[in-house]
Chain A
Amino acid sequence: MRRFSWFNATSLTLGFAFLYLPMILLVVYSFNESRLVTVWAGFSTKWYGELLRDQEFLDAAWVTVKVAVFSSTIATVLGTMAAYVMVRAGRFWGRTLFSGMIYAPLVMPEVITGLSLLLLFIGLGIDRGVFTIVLAHTTFSMCYVSVVVSSRLANFDRSLEEAALDLGCSHFAAFRLVTLPIIAPAVISGWLLAFTLSLDDLVIASFTTGPSATTLPIRIFSAIRLGVSPQINALSTLLIAVVTLGVITASIMSKRAAVAQARDEQAAIRAE
């Protein structure tokens, strides 16, 4: 029997209030009429209007989305390959180094990753901008993708793949027809993770960008260094709304996919 006491109820309530109140306040104050963010002067959506007319923010948002789409897509391909290598390729020369390079970026301070990549780009004489941020983001997010995908790969029944090979599939066809559909949920969540990591990154982008490309976090950071502003509140609210909708949709979809898969497996067992 699980005991649920007043103590637990209180700690959960206080805990979730701590997690959510700051963001709720941010959202509430984004609808504040006054420029002074701490004085309530009536409901208004004027900051949203101003935000949408601010060309600098719109440009930064466009750069950020471009970087996130490219880097998360390349990172998903590379990360899935890396996961496959880690789980399936067996022994090869330099395997320890390979797995070290997969795990190290996960715990590396961002300032170090950013600094080292910048020094590389300067050393090679590459012009810094969208391209270099994409390279940088791909490198750290492919490691997150490969961790997510390899845990799924390690857990599934390899005999399914072997059956496909016995039935005459090529290795690539077996991957496409059997393995990929099974690991698809992990690949998709890996992509989503890579996408949000890229959207979110300030430090690495600041190091690896040049004057031609300013991402949204860089723009936000330089604005909020000067203090709180209602326009940033409005922008934050929009970002929070997008993420919340995305996470809820993704979790409903993955729940449905899990139910469907369980049903298919049951049907397959009965058919035997």
Chain B
Amino acid sequence: MRRVVLIAVPYLWLLALFLVPFVIVLKISLSDIALARPPYLPQLDLSAGWQGVREFLSGLDLENFVFLTTDDLYWKAYLSSLRIALVSTLLTLLVGYPIAYGMARAAREWRPTLLMLVILPFWTSFLIRVYAWMGILSTEGVLNNVLLFLGVIDEPLQIMNTNTAVYIGIVYTYLPFMILPIYAALEKMDDSLLEAAEDLGCSRLQAFWLVTWPLSRNGIVAGCFLVFIPTIGEFVIPSLLGGSDTLMIGKVLWEEFFSNRDWPVASAVAVVLLAILIVPIILFQRNEQKAREAEG
């Protein structure tokens, strides 16, 4: 009896507040926009009995999904989100790997402190970390002032409100997610393997490429997914640092809902976004499972 209660409470909570809401999104994505409250049709009328259910079902269609394919805004936004996510994942790897490598090579007594220094920004408000870059990148910002003072440039660079600013923002805020799994993989590595490689005639660079890189592969893959997956649906960074030409699907969904108040199309955008995310999420789960099996 007690076991049933223990299982039922979190189970029912998640069913009611996680699964049911999705079913609603799916249903509304198949409905049509209407000037009503709530602003979509058809409404399920249970008082009409079986007839009501039939009428409701016949009112559902794929019109919104067809609309998504005909208006270029949407597929351009999906493609551009994927491209921005991919490029910023690679940039984060490029910035994060040397840091994780340096941490794993630091003296043992230093490592907990370095680890904490990487985790600390993660606890600090995401919004504030993005905001910090607004003061740096704007035309009268710190970066432009420093570069002008040094005489590197003659007039301020326009970085704010461009895709460059979006890349900087993503790399900055997601860097801990890249560093931590790579560090975890590198930290476990046995150094005698490197010595063996060098004894056998490898140069340092070859030893890195043939030994260290493959052994940190699981960490790299995990880190890349941890950056790539949430970046696709990112809203805060493109809306604060990006410009009007920065197209990302999270921003489109937000505007569709809050500005255009088109709930059925917003729901259809959400359903397609989820469908896009399922593939990387499954690949990520599989990688984690393989890593666990390799350890166990």
Contacts and interface: CB of A to CB of B under 8 A. Distances in A.
B14 interface: yes
A45 interface: no
A98 interface: yes
Interface size class of B (residues with CB under 8 A): 35 or more
Contact of B138 (A16, A85, A228): A228
Main secondary structure of the interface of B (DSSP, over half): helix
B7 interface: yes
A202 interface: yes
Contact of B123 (A37, A104, A243): A243
B2 A2 contact: no
Contacts of B18: 101, 104-105, 139
A130 interface: no
Interface stretch (B59-67, B214-222, B266-274): B266-274
Given A38-B135, A112-B270, A224-B131, A23 B124 contact: yes
Contacts of B15: 101
Interface stretch (A6-14, A47-55, A261-269): A6-14
A12 B263 contact: no
B121 A19 contact: yes
A247 B116 contact: yes
B3 interface: yes
A111 interface: yes
B219 to A, nearest CB: 16
B230 A107 contact: yes
B24 A251 contact: no
Contacts of B116: 247, 251
Contacts, number: 222
A36 B142 CA distance: 12
B128 A236 contact: yes
A22 B133 CA distance: 7
A265 B277 CA distance: 46
Interface in A189-243: 196, 199-200, 202-203, 207, 217, 220-221, 224-225, 227-228, 232-233, 236, 239-240, 243
A220 B131 CA distance: 10
Contacts of B117: 16, 19-20
Interface string A93-118: 01000100111110101111001110
A15 interface: yes
A163 interface: no
B155 interface: no
Interface in B100-127: 101-103, 105-107, 114, 116-121, 123-127
Contact of B25 (A19, A115, A200, A239): A115
B10 interface: yes
B98 interface: yes
B233 A2 contact: no
B132 A112 contact: no
Given A116-B22, A119-B28, A111 B128 contact: no
A89 B7 contact: yes
B235 A119 contact: no
A25 interface: yes
B45 to A, nearest CB: 14
Interface size class of A (residues with CB under 8 A): 35 or more
A167 interface: no
Contact of B273 (A1, A109, A142): A109
A236 B98 CA distance: 29
Interface in B1-53: 2-3, 6-7, 9-11, 13-15, 17-22, 24-25, 28, 38
Among B15, B21, B134, chain A packs the most CB atoms within 10 A around the CB of: B21
A78 B233 contact: no
A139 B102 contact: no
Contacts of A217: 125, 127
B82 interface: no
B157 interface: no
Given A23-B124, A227-B134, A12 B7 contact: no
Contacts of A172: 2
28 contacts: A4-B107, A8-B102, A11-B102, A12-B114, A19-B117, A20-B121, A38-B141, A85-B10, A89-B3, A89-B6, A94-B11, A98-B10, A107-B281, A110-B233, A112-B270, A115-B25, A116-B24, A138-B13, A142-B13, A171-B2, A200-B127, A202-B236, A224-B134, A224-B240, A228-B138, A240-B124, A244-B124, A247-B116
Interface of A: 1-5, 7-9, 11-12, 15-16, 18-20, 22-23, 25-26, 29, 36-38, 78-79, 81-82, 84-85, 89, 92, 94, 98, 101-105, 107, 109-112, 115-117, 119-120, 122-123, 135-136, 138-139, 142, 146, 171-172, 196, 199-200, 202-203, 207, 217, 220-221, 224-225, 227-228, 232-233, 236, 239-240, 243-244, 246-247, 251
Given A15-B99, A228-B138, A247-B119, 10 more contacts: A1-B191, A8-B105, A8-B106, A15-B98, A23-B124, A38-B135, A109-B250, A110-B233, A171-B2, A221-B127
